Amino acid sequence: MPTTVENAKERVLSGMRPTGRLHLGHYHGVLRNWVRLQHEHECFFFVADWHALTTHYEDVAGLGRHVWDMVIDWLAAGVDPGAATIFVQSRVPEHAELHLLLSMITPLGWLERVPSYKDQQAQLADRHLDTYGFLGYPLLQAADILIYRAGLVPVGEDQVAHVELTREVARRFNHLYGREPGFEEKAEAAIAKMGKKNARLYRELRRRYQEQGDAEALEVARALLEGQQNLTVGDRERLYGYLEGGWRVILPEPEALLTPTPKVPGLDGRKMSKSYGNTIALREPRDEVARKIRTMPTDPARVRRTDPGDPDKCPVWEWHQVYSDEATRAWVQEGCRSAGIGCLDCKRRIIDAVLAELEPLAARARQYEEDPDLVRAIVAEGCEKAREVARETMQEVRQAMGLAYR
């Protein structure tokens, strides 16, 4: 279930395939949300370069350029390397190891049933997508998420099924490997370590959840565990698991944090998308921004300046709904319907608004464009930080799967 309640303690993880330069649709649909989240949560944002290969394994020449272009756009948009961890998937090879290990326990049917599998295959019919890698796309994504034990995964509607699969895989993993002899005794011993008051509270919340299905009690109990300083990782996992059943939670189930669909339409009124060629890039040169908006289609009935128009039939009007205040919108409605304003006057306001919005992004982008080593250093540091967390999870996963023998 996607959630709307955000628990500040939860780690956030999200990724994007390196598609090259980003546009206003990405900015309003994804990046502004990331920028907000980075101040409220511990955030990990990464470039899913392996995921790019699942569909574009034949054209790899531009991959590196796309990665750096995209990272610069993130930074330009205000993703702050001081607040969030920015990294590249393929530089944290532990993702691949977890993907492999999860593949052992994932039934083929689960992957074949993910809606995007057949859809995408049909949509990209010109590519050969009956590959092992493409089928495993959502499982690699599950590994991306679970390796950081992320609680929240900001994604668009099209990715919710992948988070759902991630939850199923985590559940299966925990059922299979979270059982241990003497679980109950160990859990009880861990409860005792929390001190009298918290132990009593934990028991009460657990009872309320188990006997009455009180989901809020479950949330509160989890938050209580989060705050316990003197519990080992193992004990904490046990007590998470003990709330719901008889096993440890080694890989917690994440929740999708639905990002509302982007508000910015494309230049032609369709959804803004590179494949439609109707975008404004975040680092679009100023004169290009102006040119693109000036040449936008308008209400087709408004052929001459003296013909009245109907904003409801004009893509420019949709942009006013994003970029203009009440007064400007009234001015458009009035002026368009009475032929009091020309389409270029109308578009000028949008041009100014978009240029003003992109100005600070351009300023931030400049320092990174001029200093590619700075970008590389930011990503290298992010990869190190990410790897530390990933390594820790993998130790436990290996242990749980019987691989820590000597």
Residues that bind ligand SF4 (CB under 6 A): 298-299, 302, 309, 311, 314, 316-317, 332, 336, 341, 343, 346-347
Give dist(CA 260, CA 128) in Å, integer: 32
Q: How many residues does the chain have?
A: 406
CB of 345 vs ligand SF4, minimal distance in Å: 7
| Helix or strand holding residue 154 (H, E) | strand 152-155
Give the SS3 label for residue 87.
strand
Minimum CB distance to ligand SF4 smaller for 203 or for 294: 294
CB of 162 vs ligand SF4, minimal distance in Å: 39
Angle between helices 63-77 and 49-56 (to 10 degrees): 130
Give dist(CA 102, CA 174) in Å, integer: 11
CB of 116 vs ligand TRP, minimal distance in Å: 9
The one-letter amino acid at 75: L
Do residues 385 and 87 touch, judged by C-beta distance below 8 A?
yes
* CA dist list (Å): 145 to 181, 220, 328, 393: 28, 23, 44, 11
Q: Which does 145 bind (CB under 5 to 8 A by kind): ligand TRP, ligand SF4, none?
A: ligand TRP
Q: Which does 389 bind (CB under 5 to 8 A by kind): ligand TRP, ligand SF4, none?
A: none
In the structure encoding, which two tokens stand for residue 284, read together? 């679009």
Contact set with ligand TRP (CB under 6 A)? 13-17, 48, 51, 141, 144-145, 153, 155, 159
CB of 103 vs ligand SF4, minimal distance in Å: 53
Residue holding tokens 């209580």? Answer: 224
Minimum CB distance to ligand TRP smaller for 16 or for 31: 16
CB of 285 vs ligand SF4, minimal distance in Å: 23
Give dist(CA 100, CA 97) in Å, integer: 5
Minimum CB distance to ligand SF4 smaller for 261 or for 338: 338
CB of 390 vs ligand TRP, minimal distance in Å: 13
Q: What are phi and psi of 261, to 5 degrees?
A: -60, 145
Q: Which does 298 bind (CB under 5 to 8 A by kind): ligand SF4, ligand TRP, none?
A: ligand SF4
Minimum CB distance to ligand TRP smaller for 13 or for 190: 13
Q: Which does 30 bind (CB under 5 to 8 A by kind): ligand SF4, ligand TRP, none?
A: none
Minimum CB distance to ligand TRP smaller for 14 or for 90: 14
CB of 370 vs ligand TRP, minimal distance in Å: 29
Q: What is the DSSP string of 12-49?
A: EEEEE---SS-BHHHIIIIIHHHHHHTTTS-EEEEE-H
Q: Which does 48 bind (CB under 5 to 8 A by kind): ligand SF4, ligand TRP, none?
A: ligand TRP
CA-based radius of gyration for the chain: 25
Angle between helices 315-323 and 343-370 (to 10 degrees): 60
Q: Which does 85 bind (CB under 5 to 8 A by kind): ligand SF4, ligand TRP, none?
A: none
Tell me the β-bridge partners of 392. none
Q: Which does 144 bind (CB under 5 to 8 A by kind): ligand TRP, ligand SF4, none?
A: ligand TRP
Q: Which does 190 bind (CB under 5 to 8 A by kind): ligand TRP, ligand SF4, none?
A: none
CB of 259 vs ligand SF4, minimal distance in Å: 28
